[in-house]
Structure 1
Amino acid sequence: MTTATRSTGDDERSAGNDDRPAGRAGARGVLSAYLALTKPRVIELLLITTIPAMFLAERGIPSLLLVLVTLVGGAMAAGSANTLNCVADSDIDAVMDRTKSRPLVSYRVPRTHALVFGVVLSVASFAVLWAGANLLAAALALSATLFYVFIYTLVLKRRTSQNIVWGGAAGCMPVLVGWAAVSGTVEWPAVVMFAVVFLWTPPHFWSLAMKYRADYERAGVPMLPVVATPRQVSARILVYTWATVASTLLLIPVTSWIYVGCAVVIGAAFLVMAQRLHQGVRRGRGVNPMRLFHLSNSYLSVLFLALAVDAAIGLPVLG
C-alpha cells in the first residue's frame, strides 16, 4: 500500500508513531550538540594525564572515589573551557572547514544557551572538586578555565604566532589538579609533568595547523604555519620534540626502569617522526604532518600510562 492510498486513520496512526521517535531523536540531537561543545576528544586526552599524576602523587593506587571525583570535576572544567572557547570563537569556526559544523555555527545550540552551559559547568566543576578533593585542586581547575578563555582565546589566539605555546599552559593543568587532589600540594614531579605537556603541545598542535594552514589563514588566525615558512615550522617542531623527550627524563629520580625504558623507546619514535617531517620539508618532498599529530597523541598516552603503571607496581625508584 502506498502513502497516497492509505486511509486517514492509517495516516493519523503513522503520524502518531513517527512523532515519538522524532522526539527521541530530537532530544538525542540536543544532547549530542551540547556534548560536542565540550570537545570530548580533547577532554579525553587531558584526563589521560590526570590519573598518572594521581598515581605518582600517591606512590601507588589512590582512592578510586577520589579518582572518580577528580575525573568528573576535571572533565567539567575542561568542558566548560571548551564550550566558552566555542562561544568566543564562533566567528572563526564559521569560516574554517574543520570547524564549520560545530553546534554554534550550525545553529544547533543558541549562543546564550552555550554561554550559560559553559559557566554552569565551571561552577559545578569547582564545587565537585572542592567537596570531593580539596580547595587547591578546585582552584587550579578554575584557573585553567579562566586562562584558556581569557588569556588564550580572547587575547593570544588572534594576536601572536606564539599563541599555542603560551596558551597551551591551560592544557597542562590537569596534572597539577590530579597531584593536588591527592596530596593537597604541588611538588616538583608535578611541575615536571606540567613541563612535559607544555613542551609537547607545540609540535602536537603545529603539525595539525600545518595540515589546516589555509583554514587558519582564511580565519585570520596567526598560527605559526600561517606566518612562517614550512621549513621554519618543522624546525621548531623538531626543537620542541627534543625538549619534550629530554624533559621526560627528569622524572627518573621518582620512577623505576619501567617508566624510563618506555620513555626512551617511545621518545625515540617521536623524535624519528619529527626528524622525518623536517627532512621531508627541507628536501621539498610531500609530507603528511598528520602522521606526527596522531603519533603525538599516542606518545603522550603511552608515556603517562607507563608512569601510572610504574607508580602502581611500586618498584624501587632509580633516584
Structure 2
Amino acid sequence: MLWKKERRSHSIKVLILKKAYSFFKLSKPRILFATYLLFLIPYLTASHPNEFSNPMRLAILSLLAITTSMAFNSANSYFDRDIDSIMQRTRKRPLPSGTLTVKEAQAFVASSFTASALIAAYVSLIYGPIILALYCLAALSYIGIYTLFLKRRTALNVITLSPAVAVPILVGWYLGCGCLSLQSILMGIAATTWGPLHLWALASVYTQDYIRARVPMLPTVLNLKDVGKIMFTLALALSAITLSIALIKAHKLIYLLITIPATTALLRFSYKTLKEPGSKWSFKLYKFSSYYLPIILFSAYLNTIIPL
C-alpha cells in the first residue's frame, strides 16, 4: 500500500510540473527572456555605478518586466490559438497541442495581467505615472492593436507592434536614472526599426505557414525580391541609428569595437536576402537579428563600466 501511495504522489508531482511547464511555454519563454534583457541592460547602463546597490529594488523592477512580458505573451498565445493550430511552426504550443485547456489559459492570462498591472501601478506610485503610461502603451500596441485588430487585416501589422518592443528599453532606462535621455530615445527608435526587420525575416522563411493560416504578412503579398529591398532598407536605417548613438557618447571605443562588426554582419545578411531571395538567407538574418539588439545594448553598458 505504501508503494502505491508513493507512486501516486510521484505521478501527481509529475503532472504538476508538466502543467507548470505548459504555462511557462504559453508565455513564450524565448520572447520572455529577450524582453527581460531589453529591460535589464538599459537599467544597468542608466543606473551605473549604483546598478547593484539595492538588490530588492532590482528584484521588484525585474518582477515588473517579467510578469508584464508573461501577461502580454500569454494573451497573444490565447487569442492566436486558432492560427497556431494551423501553422506548422506553432502547432506544438500548449493550446494547439492540448497540454492546456482554454479555461486554464484564460485563468493564467487573467492572473498574470492582474499581477503585472498591480506591480506597474505600485512602481508608478514610487517612480511616477510614466511607468503606467508606458505599460498601457505596450498593452495597446501588442494586444489591442496588433493581436486583436490588425494582425489578420493588413500585411503592415508588425509596424504597430514596434512600440511594444521599445517600451522595455525606455522603462529600464527611466527606472535606472529617472529620466529619458537622447541615448535611450535613440535606443527605443532602434528597437522600433528592428521589430519589422526581424519579423519580416521570419515571415520570409515561413511564408506558406502564414498563407495557410490566412495571416497577411509582407512576404505573403509581395515577392521576396521586394521584401528583400525593404528589409535591406530597414537594416541600413537600423545601422545608422546604432552608429549615431556613438556620436553622443563621451566614451565610445568599446561600443564601436562591438557594434561595427555586428552592424556589418547585419548588413551582409540583409544584402544577401536582397540578392538571393529565399528562406536560406532570410533564416540567417532572422537568427542573427535575434541577438543584434541585445548586443548593441550590452556594448553600451560595457562602455559605461569601461570608459574608453
**TM-score, normalised on structure 1?**
0.87
Native 8 Å contact 1:74 1:141 kept in 2 = no
**One-letter amino acid of the structure 2 residue matched with residue 310 of structure 1:** N
By how many angstroms is 1:217 displaced?
A: 0.5
Q: How does 1:96-115 map to 2 (within 5 A)?
A: 96-115=87-106
Distance in 2 (alpha carbons) for counterparts of 1:244 and 1:23: 50
Q: Which residue of 1 aligns with 2:214?
A: 220
Task: Tell me which moved more, 194-203 or 213-222.
Answer: 194-203
Q: Which residue of 1 aligns with 2:27?
A: 38
Q: Paired residues, what number?
A: 301
* 1:256-298 Cα deviation digits (max 9, x unpaired): 21112221121111111111221112xxx77342111111122
Structure with bigger gyration radius: 1
Native 8 Å contact 2:45 2:176 kept in 1 = no
Residue 173 (structure 2) aligned to one of 179, 195, 200: 179
Q: Which residue of 1 aligns with 2:260?
A: 264
Q: Which residue of 1 aligns with 2:75?
A: 84
Q: Which residue of 2 aligns with 1:298?
A: 291
By how many angstroms is 1:165 displaced?
A: 1.9
Q: Which residue of 2 aligns with 1:128?
A: 119
Identity of aligned residues (%): 25
Q: Which residue of 1 aligns with 2:46?
A: 57
The answer as to 2:188 corresponding to 1:194 is yes
Native 8 Å contact 1:81 1:146 kept in 2 = no
Native 8 Å contact 1:161 1:223 kept in 2 = yes
The answer as to 2:278 corresponding to 1:279 is no
Distance in 2 (alpha carbons) for counterparts of 1:240 and 1:177: 24
* 1:159-210 Cα deviation digits (max 9, x unpaired): 1111112212212210011022223333322211111111111221111111
Q: 1:61 to 1:274 in 2, by over 3 A?
A: farther
Distance in 1 (alpha carbons) for counterparts of 2:148 and 2:289: 27
Q: 1:101 to 1:286 in 2, by over 3 A?
A: closer
By how many angstroms is 1:13 displaced?
A: 6.2
Distance in 2 (alpha carbons) for counterparts of 1:306 and 1:61: 18
The answer as to 2:308 corresponding to 1:311 is no
The answer as to 2:156 corresponding to 1:162 is yes
Gaps of 5+ in 2: none
**One-letter amino acid of the structure 1 residue matched with residue 254 of structure 2:** I
Q: 1:140 to 1:286 in 2, by over 3 A?
A: closer
Alignment RMSD: 2.1
Q: 1:279 to 1:154 in 2, by over 3 A?
A: same
Native 8 Å contact 2:169 2:188 kept in 1 = yes
